Amino acid sequence: RLAKNTFDTLCQWLKEDDWKFDTDEDRLLVTFRAVGDDLTMNLAVQINTELMIVSVYNYFDFEIPQNKRTAMAVAICMANERLHDGNFDLNLANGSMLFRMTCSFRESLLGKELMMYLVATSCTTTDNFNDKFYDFVNDKISFEELMAWIKK
pLDDT given at position 110: 73
37, pLDDT greater than 90: no
pLDDT in tens, 66-94: 999 999 999 999 999 999 999 999 999 99
Report the pLDDT averaged over residues 16-34: 94
pLDDT in tens, 120-138: 999 999 999 999 999 999 9
Could you tell me what percent of the chain has a pLDDT over 90?
A: 73
Q: What is the DSSP string of 20-83?
A: -EEEETTTTEEEEEEE-SSSEEEEEEEEETTTTEEEEEEE-SSPPPGGGHHHHHHHHHHHHHH-
pLDDT given at position 93: 97
H helix or E strand, kind and range, residue 100: strand 97-104
pLDDT given at position 131: 93
26, pLDDT greater than 90: yes
Amino acid at 62: F
